[in-house]
Chains A and B, each alone.
Chain A
Amino acid sequence: MSNVSASLSAPPLYKRILHAASQFVREQPFGTVGALVILTIGFAGIFAEWVAPYDPLEINYMSTFAPPSLEHWMGTDDFGRDILSRLIYGARTAMIISLSASLIGCSIGGIVGMSSAYFGGRVDFIIQRLMDVLLSFPIIVLALVVVAVLGRNPVFGVDMNLVLAISIPMIPKVSRVIRSASLQIAVMPYVDAARALGFNHRRIILRHMAPNLVAPFLILLTAYIAQAILLEAALSFLGLGVTEPTPAWGLMLSGNASQFFLTAPWVIIFPGLAISLSVFAFNLYGDAMRDWLDPKFKF
């Protein structure tokens, strides 16, 4: 009891995170499986140089369309490149693009939504009409135009304009969800209490509203990572996303790959499985996180 004042600060962050993580594992087995798959894919992507058995770009005309074997677990493609290695390097591409795209899209959407809710009135009306315009643009068109306009701008081998193209369509959707969540929080008695205590707008938004939007934000973020993987794959498939020779899952399915599917189905099957598995894992994890953080939150 003598040391009370020293113990008045909350337990350190890492302890709280550890505690939360162990609780999550216990309560959400499905989500834990999802998280493990994500971690595995992420690990493979990060350490691709060590994990991948072959160079993903190495062309070998001696063994084109080799079926899965001990040598090439998932076979080879039309250039004789090892599919497994390309998938592992593709994981890196997918992760970088989807993580950064959803981080950018959700952050901008979140800020737009929160300010729309907080300022209300005319500002809200104008922002919402702008979002309507954006929302009524077909996603593919939006992505096409961004890629076409901004050209290619590779950073660490990943096209940052593609990231932008994928993140823009998220903005109106995220902003709507965050806006309505903010509106709910803005009328909570604890926000009233903060106003009655005479705090300024900045403090009320940052200290009292924003921390309570973290849960919906994280849930949206996870969901949109999954969406971004899918959209990137679709764009690459159409030849508008990642370009050769960068290994990317969607790209591996595009072009003439589909013409070989009768003779070499593995060329089609494995990249699709990689996309599906990672999106599946993110959704599994996102679902669990939603149940765990806030069972009432829906979008």
Chain B
Amino acid sequence: MAHTEQMASGAIQDLVPAADLADAALLSVEDLHVEFETSAGRLRAVEAVSFHVKPGELVAIVGESGSGKSVTALSVMRLLPKRNARVPKGRILFEGRNLLDLPEDEMRRIRGHQISMIFQEPMSSLNPMMTIGYQLMEPLIIHLGMNGEQARARAVELLGLVGITNPEDRLKQYPHEFSGGMRQRVMIAIGLSCNPKLIIADEPTTALDVTIQAQILELMKKLARELNIALVVITHNLGIVARYAERVTVMYAGEITESSTAEEIFHRPRHPYTMGLLSSVPRLDEPKMRKLETITGLPPNMLRPPVGCRFAERCPHAIDLCSKPPVLRGTAAGGLSACHRLDEIEAGGLPWHGAQHAAAAKGVPDPQTSDQVLVSVEGLSKNFGAMRAVNDVNFDIMKGETLGLVGESGCGKTTVGRMILGLTDPSEGAIRYGGTDIAAADINEMRQIRRKLQVIFQDPFSSLNPRMTIAQIISEPLAYYRLFPTRQERQARVIELLEQVGLPAHFAVRYPHQLSGGQRQRVGIARALAMEPDCIVCDEAVSALDVSIQGQIINLLEDLREKLGIAYLFIAHDLAVVRHISHRVVVMYLGEVVEIGDRDQIFERPQHPYTKLLLDAVPIPDPTIEKTRNARIIKGDITSAPAFAKGCKFAARCPLADDFCRTRIPRLEDHEPGHRVACFKTNSGEV
């Protein structure tokens, strides 16, 4: 191990003109190592990581969970848990001073003053017992020595700066009175308060809806530019990177695999992992041409990382040499790459081939939708107390099709899914399965319907009973419905199902906590398949997974649909995934369907202003496109529309809305065959 470190750090010093960098750099992380003592052993979360940030620059650190990107950020702030984290090696130079050597008190004066940090969870990052005003004024008083009067004035100014109206009144409010997007604005205001030189944002928009995400990122970028603040964005979202970053560092399993300008990373990736990552994400701007070329396998166990290249076992180009640790080497474009075969890559010799490449190359047959209605939803409504969560929703799911159901959080899409599954009772309306009204079905009919309608949940960590083995989980319905009466038959079926979802048979005896997220999701799919369903409701089934794993699950779902003719109701907020997987798409806003159509109609000829703006808000993983595009942003958030609004619910946020829209309720009307839109302004051109 020590050998590796020496080689890696030695290489950096040789190849990167350190003196140049140190002069220009605001922050420079050099050969950083971070370890955690865990009950299972020493976890080397970050190894030999080096990067630098120049004043005013926008830098992104990209990686999947466990790649060490957040740990790196926290070590810059020296906010790692003191109990079990250790930095055995490395330097973090900020304006020439090594932060790791500073006494705690001096470091404290840098935090929130010179370097600020914005975290992922706006809902929990503000103290619920303190007013926004206090939390905003605190750094001003601590670092700038302001008195209460001055701090209050500055706080008002800051809230205005981040786009919060009525700042004087808002100062007296508590976090729970703010929406998620608003809280993140407050976090930005706190970050900006002392005019820092550097802001580190750790997944700042991951917990937010896509329209809010666009607002927040746009705001951060604008303010960083105006105030000449360097911004380090840590994210797993390649679209965000493409839209906002100038330089990108890619991390994998605690190490840097590649680092370069955004253009180089996206157009000429020089590490197989980067290539794989880029081809794993479905793109919103591309019509569906092919299966996703995903990265096979799982990231290494960080308690026992491989000695050689950590990506080798998932890399299609791995050769014998890859069992030796690679070093970061300079690329022709001035970046860095830690691949043994960099020269071949530079020569254009090693394009990414996923394992499924051969199969994928054949392409996917065009949507083969049948015109046979499987499930039909008629006038479905749901009230939770005084709130109308779902209002008069109508759509059909055809046999064998994938119907995408999209919308932001709070739009009622999950409630619709739960009502179809019979987990929540509708307040009004009916759900028919093969012509039978589910609410009116007797016990025997219901048993049949239950079998044919199945579900895959979002959270692979809580959707499997922790006290049951995988075999028990999958075989339980087989026994309950007497699909396979004998034990032997059931066991054979469990193995067959595991095989079908790409898991080895010996997983049957494991418990859910012994599996990774992607593997658990596969078990969830196997459990649903056990019933031989006609239709599976996938409720955000891939959104909790890492990019490379998400691609694998999407491909699995598509394979199963082709093989078994299952229909999916694919509930998701990720529009690119929905575009990739769906035949038809339903768009919901505040409990109502605003647009419904086939995939191309929705994604290429969207009619409803909400759909158009939603699509605009999604960043595309291509910096060239992103940097020429003028992001149009939906103002406000979902709470902007009063619940009692008389007219179109989107009117409050719609750029086209006029008094007519605010007083009349639009109905879904045919725009073209199969394409229905609920908007009065369908034909009034551009948004």
Contacts and interface: CB of A to CB of B under 8 A. Distances in A.
Instruction: Decide if A and B touch, CB cutoff 8 A.
Output: yes
Interface string A185-214: 000111011111111000100011001101
B39 A196 contact: no
Contacts of A188: 462
Contacts of A208: 465
A5 B495 contact: yes
Contacts of A263: none
Contacts, number: 83
Most chain A beta-carbon neighbours within 10 Å: one of B423, B462, B465, B524? B465
B508 A8 contact: yes
B324 interface: no
B467 interface: yes
A10 B509 contact: yes
Contacts of A190: 462-466
Interface string A1-40: 1001101111100000000000000010000000000000
B509 A7 contact: yes
A212 B450 contact: no
Contacts of A5: 488, 491-492, 495
A192 B422 CA distance: 10
Interface string B177-207: 0000000000000000000000000000000
Interface in A171-197: 188-190, 192-197
Contacts of B508: 4, 8
Interface stretch (B216-224, B453-461, B554-562): B453-461
A155 B616 CA distance: 78
Contacts of B527: 193, 197
B463 A9 contact: no
A190 B469 CA distance: 13
B467 A211 contact: yes
Contacts of A196: 421-423, 450, 453-455
B477 A4 contact: no
A199 B480 contact: yes
B447 A198 contact: yes
A192 B39 contact: no
Interface size class of B (residues with CB under 8 A): 35 or more
Interface in B495-539: 495, 505-506, 508-509, 524, 527, 531
Nearest to B424: A192
A166 B454 CA distance: 48
Nearest to B455: A196
Contact of A212 (B466, B509, B524): B466
B145 to A, nearest CB: 41
Contact of B467 (A195, A199, A203, A212): A212
Contacts of B469: 10
B476 interface: yes
Contact of B455 (A10, A192, A211, A214): A192
A23 to B, nearest CB: 10
B21 interface: no
A189 B459 contact: yes
Contacts of B39: 27
Contact of A197 (B446, B458, B471, B476): B476
B451 interface: yes
B466 A8 contact: no
B509 A189 contact: no
Nearest to A199: B480
Contacts of B466: 190, 212
A212 B465 CA distance: 8
Contacts of B472: 10
B58 interface: no
Contact of A192 (B423, B447, B476, B477): B423
A7 B488 CA distance: 12
A4 B506 contact: yes
Nearest to B446: A198
Nearest to B488: A5
A7 B507 CA distance: 11
A188 B468 CA distance: 15
Contacts of A211: 465, 467-468
B506 A189 contact: no
A211 B464 CA distance: 13
Interface in A255-282: none
B480 A189 contact: no
B495 A197 contact: no
Contacts of B423: 192, 195-196
A19 to B, nearest CB: 12
Interface string B553-586: 0000000000000000000000000000000000
Interface of A: 1, 4-5, 7-11, 27, 188-190, 192-199, 203, 207-208, 211-212, 214
15 contacts: A4-B506, A8-B471, A9-B471, A9-B509, A189-B457, A189-B459, A192-B455, A196-B421, A196-B450, A197-B480, A197-B531, A199-B476, A208-B465, A212-B465, A214-B467
Given A5-B495, A189-B458, 14 more contacts: A1-B505, A4-B495, A4-B506, A8-B509, A10-B472, A193-B463, A193-B464, A193-B524, A195-B423, A196-B453, A196-B454, A198-B481, A199-B477, A208-B465
Interface of B: 39, 418, 421-423, 446-447, 450-451, 453-455, 457-459, 462-469, 471-472, 476-477, 480-481, 488, 491-492, 494-495, 505-506, 508-509, 524, 527, 531
